[in-house]
Structure 1
């Protein structure tokens, strides 16, 4: 080999050149795309959420023997609901709640419950635990809204405490 060709070969070997290969990933900002599907949350397979409620007792028109005062007879409570979504149309739901019911009785001449005696203020208070199991059938497309559904189920209440409270003011302290 002549000296010129040796010079060319050595020059090619000694001259640095870039080769196209993999990029360095440690310096790269990779967009984090999670390919796993979440199973917990609204419109997912599992969903748990707390709730609170307040309602007022409506008197039956024919119940003069035990009529209640509107506005001061109420129900209030706290609960937790678990929903298991089994398909896009069907879900199974369980509720566990604590509620308190207060029936403030009207003191009229027709009153017979629990006695005919009239008081300045009389109420029945019930503290309950409730369990309900129901089936939810969804209709139509929902997206990220509640949508249209039908709930069918059953519930049971356990009244663990009941109180009959009455208050009277007496002019004579010996009464």
Structure 2
């Protein structure tokens, strides 16, 4: 009886490799739509960024002079970009910005009053949105590469504060005061500018066209400097 089983066993053994090589699932990575549409140089991309810029340019009058080097704006935001062509894209930034104007202390000072202090500044935190047109140049793969952005946007002043500090008084080494909810400050701002970048780094310049102070205040508050120039770092 034993020899009768040999052909059966041999047939079963020969069929095992064919079964082991049978394809149960096929997958084409190129058909992954997420990988094909999201990326630095693909149809859509978003990333977080931070920026720091110095306030530049002249004030409208000596009474609104600021301390350059200390007057600055800090930003934290999210950037969204939609590719139009290989060389052009549209984008929208939403961000938190905190411009601070450190006021120069001298006899001609008028903003927000003529009183002199050891240190004094206006802080105007804002929620901002800014659109941009991106023009790419140079060779690149799926990367940000080199680009020029044309910027335009605006913001809403979340809060306003006038901070000042004086010397010793009544046994204290210094006295700090904060006045909040300034009625003489505009609630809306708008600006335009340009951004020149390469990869995660960019040089950004903007000019504010709106006034910091309300028009109803007349000549009481001459306008503060309008330019900001700074650097930007992106998390890609």
TM-score band, normalised by shorter chain? 0.7 to 0.9
Does the CA contact (< 8 Å) of 2:42 and 2:142 recur in 1? no
* Cα distance change, pair 41–123 in 1 and its aligned pair in 2 (3 A): same
Count of residue pairs brought into register by the alignment: 163
Query: Structure 2-normalised TM-score?
Result: 0.57
In structure 1, the residue matched to 2:73 is 75
Displacement after TM superposition at 1:81 (Å) = 0.5
Matched, 1:167 2:165: yes
Matched, 1:115 2:116: no
Aligned Cα RMSD in Å? 3.5
Larger Rg computed on CA atoms: 1
Displacement after TM superposition at 1:145 (Å) = 4.6
In structure 1, the residue matched to 2:31 is 36
* Cα distance change, pair 54–162 in 1 and its aligned pair in 2 (3 A): same
In structure 1, the residue matched to 2:20 is 24
Larger helix percent: 2
Does the CA contact (< 8 Å) of 1:127 and 1:161 recur in 2? yes
In structure 2, the residue matched to 1:129 is 127
Query: Structure 1-normalised TM-score?
Result: 0.74
Structure 1 spans left out of the alignment, 5+ residues: 1-9
Displacement after TM superposition at 1:15 (Å) = 8.7
Supply the distance in 2 between the matched residues of 1:104 and 1:127 (Cα, whole angstroms).
Answer: 14
Supply the distance in 2 between the matched residues of 1:58 and 1:125 (Cα, whole angstroms).
Answer: 16
* Cα distance change, pair 44–23 in 1 and its aligned pair in 2 (3 A): farther
